[in-house]
């Protein structure tokens, strides 16, 4: 797992970034095991520890406020953390962010540094969302949670420190990118930030096969996630779950795609970008060369890769939030 040889033919075809090799090398030294070889509880704890170990730290001179968003689908409500930097203007945009983790692992806590960096460097208000996870909560409960939070933010801008004129966008990585892309089909927002999004649960694009056995996210792990959050196999073709399968994209807001080159989800991200572009939607796209899936919330390790991606994201938000 830790060496170039572990990448097989992929390692011969692509130049793997040193930050990628260092990450998997250290993961081996730490005794990390694939999620599919663990129980759900063990996988969640492993994800938490890995995320905190590699996220690093950052200075943040601002406020972090906690809210419970009321929901008809979730009796206890949906917890969110709202980040606002001290230099954030009243008319600053709002980014509602959904974490990754295959809808099975991941948490707001794992994305604390990510949200601070985006809130500070844009600057904007970031709403970090704790949606429910599978297998305790099957699809579409995750979608119901993020749709609820997005609508709530749009109707309560002043409550979270924004103004009535503040623009609202959604964003997320991996499964969170799936949820962000999907919610845009049902809620009117002003922009979307899609970080290596899962847009097609039928897994029909070439990169799913190309990276089927590589370190990190691969075919076995994807199947493990899907087995836990599908209620039935037919849900793979539900457009809410596979937004690539929607018929109309013309009403969607501008989008930026952050793509990892060495990622099974790479081509479904490109395919979704092409659907939007063909429908006349403005899209930006950055591909991080030699980068693996799941780097975005670990800037402590992926310093150069995250630096490039965060710069592109903050520039995009500033551009489309005026």
Residue 66 to residue 83: CA distance in whole angstroms: 9
Respond yes or no: is residue 174 known to be catalytic.
yes
One of 99, 201, 229, 293 is an active-site residue; which one?
A: 293
- Nearest to 166, CA basis, from 89, 98, 254, 61: 89
One of 207, 263, 297, 321 is an active-site residue; which one?
A: 263
Phi, psi of 43 (to 5 degrees): -65, -40
One of 174, 182, 207, 321 is an active-site residue; which one?
A: 174
- Nearest to 304, CA basis, from 90, 20, 2: 20
Respond yes or no: is residue 164 known to be catalytic.
no
Query: Bridge partners of 24?
Result: none
Say if CB 196 and CB 123 are below 8 A apart: no
What tokens appear for 154 in the block? 């749009």
Positive/negative CA dihedral, 103, 106, 109, 114: negative
Residue 288 to residue 169: CA distance in whole angstroms: 23
Indicate the DSSP class of residue 201: T
Phi, psi of 68 (to 5 degrees): -115, 115
The β-bridge relationship of strands 62-69 and 78-85 is antiparallel
Q: List active site positions.
A: 174, 263, 293
């Amino acid at each position: 797992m830790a060496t170039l040889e572990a990448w097989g033919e992929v390692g011969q075809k692509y130049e793997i970034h040193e930050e990628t090799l260092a990450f998997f090398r250290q993961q081996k030294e730490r005794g990390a095991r694939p999620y599919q070889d663990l129980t759900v509880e063990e996988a969640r704890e492993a994800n938490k520890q890995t995320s905190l170990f590699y996220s690093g730290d950052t200075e943040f001179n601002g406020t972090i406020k906690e809210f419970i968003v009321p929901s008809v689908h979730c009796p206890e409500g949906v917890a969110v953390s709202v980040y606002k930097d001290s230099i954030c203007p009243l008319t600053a945009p709002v980014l509602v962010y959904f974490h990754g983790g295959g809808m099975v692992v991941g948490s707001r806590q794992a994305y604390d540094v990510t949200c601070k960096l985006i809130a500070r460097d844009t600057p904007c208000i970031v709403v970090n969302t704790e949606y429910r996870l599978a297998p305790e909560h099957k699809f579409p409960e995750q979608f119901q949670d993020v749709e609820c939070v997005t609508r709530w933010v749009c109707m309560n801008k002043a409550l979270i420190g924004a103004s009535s004129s503040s623009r609202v966008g959604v964003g997320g990585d991996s499964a969170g990118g799936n949820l962000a892309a999907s919610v845009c089909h049902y809620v009117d927002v002003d922009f979307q930030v899609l970080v290596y999004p899962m847009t097609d649960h039928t897994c029909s694009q070439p990169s799913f096969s190309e990276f089927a056995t590589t370190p990190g996210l691969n075919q076995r792990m994807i199947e493990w996630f899907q087995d836990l959050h599908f209620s039935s196999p037919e849900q793979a073709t539900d457009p809410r779950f596979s937004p690539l399968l929607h018929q109309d994209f013309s009403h969607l807001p501008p989008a930026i795609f952050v793509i990892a080159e060495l990622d099974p989800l790479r081509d479904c991200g490109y395919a979704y970008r092409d659907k939007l572009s063909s429908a006349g939607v403005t899209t930006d796209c950055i591909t991080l060369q030699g980068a693996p899936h799941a780097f975005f919330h670990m800037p402590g390790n992926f310093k150069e890769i995250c630096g490039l991606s965060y710069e592109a994201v903050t520039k995009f938000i500033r551009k489309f939030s005026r």
